[in-house]
Chain A
Amino acid sequence: MVDHRASLAVFKLASCDGCQLTLLNCEDELLAVAGKVRIAYFPEATRGVLRGPYDVALVEGSVTTPADAERIGEIRAQSRTLVSIGACATSGGIQALRNVGDVEEFRSIVYAHPGYIATLAHSTPVAQHVAVDFELRGCPVDKGQLLELLTSLLAGRHPRISTASVCVECKLRGTVCLPVSRGVACLGPVTQSGCSGLCPAYGRGCYGCFGPVPGANLASLAHQLAVLGLRPEDITRLLRTVNTAAPEFAAESARQEMMSR
């Protein structure tokens, strides 16, 4: 019997596996997913490997090695729809800290035999190498958004993923705003929603996991963070976590770093 289900492949570049785990964590929903799609390539979940081409490819991780740079081209060629998932794949991830550091130095400190390590000077998002059909943000991606993505791809519609700020989620949830009521530094106003306002609901300022909102006004937020008492080096650190290389965050952290010198 011919299997008419769409084929799904999950690929991994430089990453921690957290985003793939989110898919595996959709325990209740995974059966439904499996019923609708043929899992053709998902080494983390199953040993069986079906050859491409694939209807949908989810790519986790950033490009950090010459081999990955080549591989992502092959993945693209095999995939009808390619979605990059997670902060690594969409902005370069935490490993993009190398972009503002010295890779040679890291390599010599971290590895016993640095000579065996072939690595690129920059960690780059998938979209910098190949055309990407959709980018799903987050570190890790949100389960609900991932299911919405898969559901909509299977239904042939555009995924409904909000680009509103985390603040919108705080207000939906009824969280009292931290910077206003306690002077806590928070990246929420310039960060895309997706986490349901998780950190502020537990008294922590937003770390920016879902990356900058479209047209994020970092200059104004940085000014306000300074009013709250953060020094330029503090603001630089705040912006250099999992979305270090997201263009808006990178530009502002570079500006702050200049100021701190």
Chain B
Amino acid sequence: MPNQSTGTEAVLDLPGLQALVDALAATHTVIGPQVSDGAIVLGPLARVDQLPVGMGDDQDAGSYRLRERTDRAVFGYAASAVPAKRWVFPPREPMSRTHDDGTTVSVEPVLARPQRPVALFGVRSCDLAALAVHDRALLARPVPDPWYAQRRAGLFIVVAACTTPARSCFCVSMGTGPAPGAGFDLSLTELVEGEHRFLVTSGSPAGEQLLARLPTRAADTVDRSAADAALRQAAESMTRAMPTDGLAALLLGQPEHPAWAEVAQRCLACGNCTLACPTCFCTSIVETAELGSPVSERARVWDSCFTADFSHMHGGSVRTGISARYRQWMTHKLGAWVEQFGVSGCVGCGRCITWCPVGIDITEQARALARPAGQEPRERKP
């Protein structure tokens, strides 16, 4: 799949990549991929040698292992364990403080301004697509979410095209990768054959300006065709796919399909899938007051439709069983989301598949729903 953007192209070498990080660090908190606790996560990044140099990942249902590559690639892996949403939609976001001095109660809104804007460096195409989904869900509405809006406004995005997808990935079937779509400031395609280099493309005026200040050389046809070949090869090597045809109708029209009860036998309702998912945005509002203090704080904290508390209303939880909760997650993500926001809630990053402790595969569940009810009960797979 050719790179869809039409910005300025140039070539950076490894010192040039460091120059990019340095330029970003002058104005932003740079967040990028790095190895931590046996996985590639996102975290503060100052030097390119902090990147997972020569590291790859084996990701499949319920399993993640780091792997040494045979080359020195710095972007040779798929979706990070921690998605980028952490930096635009943090796990805990303070919203207001209430002061009660005994006679008057005053409420002061809290809009924590990050000290510096964030630059997401080396995030993947699916991460970029997930940000676009969040933009639709949280910004494109009558009252945009002010907390998200503020964190999103200063964001600088350097996307790294995926050249080594994992077995859990299915972005091709969701139309979100491996080549990045729109919405980045700079895009990098790593080339390891021959000279180790990065084809860099600008996607915004800010990216264009920054690129002009970097030590680059002009891109030639060899660079371009190598990048195209790497992305084509990545797309072709992708083994998983979501059967998207008519999926929303299959999901929303079959609330009693036996596949829901079947998956509920395996699902732990642990919530890992929703919390690892880069687009899930559910929170609960938590009020904390210290004993004897006149001040209480209201914050929103990540929540998940898999918890019993999530649908707790007067009289108890609405979704008491695991099958109802799994159905909520999947029908929302891939069905109702389309009606709500005009886009699927899934970008095919595969995180929910990898990080499910029992390896439940959302693409396999979609196929199970496409099978007529009553047909061959599927064998229980770990």
Contact = CB atoms under 8 A, between A and B. Distances in A.
Interface string A165-195: 1011001111111011110001011100000
Interface residues of B, number: 50
B38 interface: yes
B291 A224 contact: no
Nearest to B317: A214
Contact of A227 (B82, B288, B382): B382
Contacts of B290: 29, 32, 147, 151
Contacts of A29: 290-291
A64 B252 CA distance: 52
Chain B at the A interface: SS class: loop
A247 B70 CA distance: 51
A164 interface: yes
A174 to B, nearest CB: 6
A160 B355 contact: no
Contacts of A213: 269, 308
Contacts of B237: none
A63 to B, nearest CB: 28
B357 A179 contact: yes
Task: Among A148, A176, A180, find the residue whose CB has the most chain B CB atoms closer than 10 A.
Answer: A180
Contacts of B354: 180
B91 interface: yes
B291 A176 contact: no
Interface string B280-302: 00000011111111000000011
Contacts of A33: 291
Interface in A120-161: 147-148, 150-151, 154-155, 160
A46 interface: no
Contacts of B357: 167, 177, 179-180, 186, 189, 221, 224
A174 B41 contact: yes
B228 to A, nearest CB: 33
B358 interface: yes
A108 B309 CA distance: 46
Chain A at the B interface: SS class: helix
Contacts of A175: 37
B307 A217 contact: no
25 contacts: A147-B291, A151-B290, A151-B291, A162-B307, A164-B303, A165-B307, A167-B271, A167-B275, A168-B302, A168-B307, A171-B272, A174-B82, A176-B38, A177-B64, A179-B357, A180-B64, A180-B355, A181-B64, A186-B357, A188-B270, A189-B268, A213-B269, A215-B322, A217-B266, A224-B382
Given A32-B291, A224-B62, 16 more contacts: A33-B291, A163-B309, A165-B268, A168-B304, A171-B271, A174-B41, A174-B82, A174-B86, A177-B357, A181-B38, A213-B269, A215-B308, A216-B268, A217-B268, A220-B266, A220-B358
